[in-house]
Amino acid sequence: MTVAGEEELERSEGEALLSARAELGPGFEAELVDGFAERIERVVRERAEAERRRHDDVARRAAAAGPRQLALAIVSLVSFIPLGITLGVNGEGFALLVTLAAIVAVNLAHAWQSRPS
C-alpha cells in the first residue's frame, strides 16, 4: 500500500542490494548500505508526514465542528420556542412532538456528521 507520491520499498530491492553486495565485494558495501538506508529514511519521513497531515486535518475538522454545533443548537432552541408556544396553545400536542423530534434529528445528524472519524 502506498500513499500518493510515496515510494514503495520492494522486497526485490533488498534482494538486489544483497546481490550487488556479493558481486561488488566489501569495498562498495558502505555505499550500497548508505544508499539503501537513505531511501528507507526518505520513505519513512514521507509516511510520517502524510500521517501528520491526516491527523492535523482530522483535528482541524473536529475543532471547527464545535462552534457550528453550538450555533445549530442555539438556532434550534430559538426556533422551537415560538413553535412550541404556538402549537402548545392550540392544543397540537402531536405537531409539537413532531417538530421537536425533527429539530432533535437535525442536531443529532449534524453532530454525527461532524464527529472525528
| pLDDT tens digit sequence for 4-57 | 444 566 677 767 777 777 777 777 677 777 877 888 898 899 999 999 999 988
Confidence of residue 117 (pLDDT cuts 50, 70, 90): low
Q: What is the DSSP letter of 10?
A: -
Instruction: Please report the pLDDT score of residue 116 as a whole number.
Output: 64
Task: Tell me which residue of 66, 73, 78 sits closest to 104, measured CA to CA.
Answer: 73
Dihedral sign (CA 80, 81, 86, 92):
positive
Contacts 24+ apart (CB under 8 A), 80-85: none
Taking the C-alpha atoms of residue 92 and residue 70, their distance in angstroms, rounded to an integer, is 29
Q: What is the DSSP letter of 63?
A: H
What is the Rg, in whole angstroms, of the alpha carbon atoms belonging to the chain?
30
Contacts of 20 (CB under 8 A, 6+ apart): 28, 32
